[in-house]
Amino acid sequence: MTQPEPPGDVVSPFVLPAPPPDRETLAGWQHYRLSRASFLPAPRLTLADYRRLGPRRKALHDLHRTATHVNLPLLETPMSAAVDRLMRFRIQNNLLKTKATTQSGLMISGGGFQGKTETVCDSAAAFEDFLRDLHQQLNPDAVAGTRDLHAPVAYVQTPVTAKPKSVCEAILDFFGAPIPRGATLPQLCRLVRASLRDHGTRVLILDDVTRLKMHREADQDALDLMRGLMSMNVTLILVGVGIRKSGLLTGGHHDPASGQWHFPPRKGGKSYFNDEAGTQTDRRFDLIDLNPFRYDTPAGIATWAHHLAGMEDCLRLFRAEPGMLTTGDMPEYLFRRTQGVVGLLERLIEDGCAAAIDSGTEKLTVSLLDGIAIELRDVSGRDPEAGEIPEIPAPPATSPPAKRGRNTVFDDRGPASRPSAS
Residues 267 and 333 in one domain: no
Residues 103 and 71 in one domain: no
Instruction: Assess if residue 394 is contained within a domain.
Output: no
Instruction: Assess if residue 3 is contained within a domain.
Output: no
Q: Which among 293, 261, 287 has a CA at the least distance from the CA of 109?
A: 287
Query: What pTM value is reported for the model?
Result: 0.82
Residue 244 has pLDDT above 80, yes or no: yes
What digits encode the pLDDT tens for the residues 348-399? 999 999 999 999 999 999 999 999 998 766 655 555 555 556 666 766 665 4
Residues 220 and 308 in one domain: no
Residue 237 has pLDDT above 60, yes or no: yes
Instruction: Assess if residue 275 is contained within a domain.
Output: yes
- For residue 134, the model assigns a pLDDT of 84
Using DSSP's 3-state secondary structure scheme, residue 246 falls into helix
Residues 67 and 82 in one domain: no
DSSP state of 399: P
Top pLDDT among 224 and 74 is at 74
Residues 262 and 349 in one domain: no
Count of domains forming the chain: 2
118 to each of 67, 236, 244, 339, how far by Cα in Å? 19, 17, 21, 19
Taking residues 144-164, what's their average pLDDT?
80
Q: How far apart are CA 159 and CA 208, in angstroms?
A: 8
Residues 155 and 36 in one domain: no
Taking residues 233-261, what's their average pLDDT?
85
* Torsional sign, CA 263, 265, 271, 276: positive
Residue 2 has pLDDT above 90, yes or no: no
User: Final residue of a domain: which of 253, 272, 289?
Assistant: 289
Overall size of the chain counted in residues: 422
pLDDT band at 279 (very low <50, low <70, confident <90, very high): very low
pLDDT band at 205 (very low <50, low <70, confident <90, very high): very high
Residues 97 and 244 in one domain: yes
User: Final residue of a domain: which of 289, 312, 343?
Assistant: 289
Q: How far apart are CA 107 and CA 130, in angstroms?
A: 23
Between helix 164-175 and helix 185-198 the angle, nearest 10°, is 30
Contacts 24+ apart (CB under 8 A), 261-265: 261/107, 261/285, 261/286, 261/287, 263/227
- For residue 379, the model assigns a pLDDT of 55
What digits encode the pLDDT tens for the residues 284-297? 889 999 999 999 99
Residues 137 and 210 in one domain: yes
Instruction: Assess if residue 217 is contained within a domain.
Output: yes
Q: Is residue 208 a contact partner of residue 239, using CB atoms and an 8 Å limit? A: yes
Instruction: Assess if residue 410 is contained within a domain.
Output: no
Residue 221: CA count within 13 A, CB half-sphere: 18
Q: How far apart are CA 346 and CA 352, in angstroms?
A: 10
Taking residues 29-42, what's their average pLDDT?
92
DSSP state of 228: H
Instruction: Assess if residue 417 is contained within a domain.
Output: no
Using DSSP's 3-state secondary structure scheme, residue 260 falls into strand
Q: Which among 170, 242, 180, 172 has a CA at the least distance from the CA of 213?
A: 242
Residues 103 and 184 in one domain: yes
What digits encode the pLDDT tens for the residues 41-56? 999 999 999 999 999 9
Instruction: Assess if residue 18 is contained within a domain.
Output: no
Residues 115 and 255 in one domain: yes
DSSP state of 321: P
Q: Is residue 80 a contact partner of residue 293, using CB atoms and an 8 Å limit? A: no
Residue 142 has pLDDT above 80, yes or no: no
Residue 158: CA count within 13 A, CB half-sphere: 29
Q: Is residue 209 a contact partner of residue 239, using CB atoms and an 8 Å limit? A: yes
Q: Which residues contact 200 (CB under 8 A, 6 or more apart)?
A: 139, 140, 141, 142, 148, 150, 151, 152
Q: How far apart are CA 343 and CA 113, in angstroms?
A: 5
CA 303 to chain centre: 20
Taking residues 155-161, what's their average pLDDT?
89
Poorest-pLDDT segment among 42-51, 101-110, 120-129: 101-110
Residues 196 and 57 in one domain: no
- For residue 75, the model assigns a pLDDT of 94
Using DSSP's 3-state secondary structure scheme, residue 283 falls into strand
Residue 162 has pLDDT above 90, yes or no: no
Q: For position 115, which CATH number holds?
A: 3.40.50.300
Cβ-count burial 74-102 (b if 16+ within 10 Å, e if not):
ebebebbeebbebbeebbeebbeeeeeeb
Residue 59: CA count within 13 A, CB half-sphere: 2
Instruction: Assess if residue 398 is contained within a domain.
Output: no
The residue type at 258:
S
Mean pLDDT of the chain: 83
Domain containing 111 equals 78-289
Residues 164 and 153 in one domain: yes
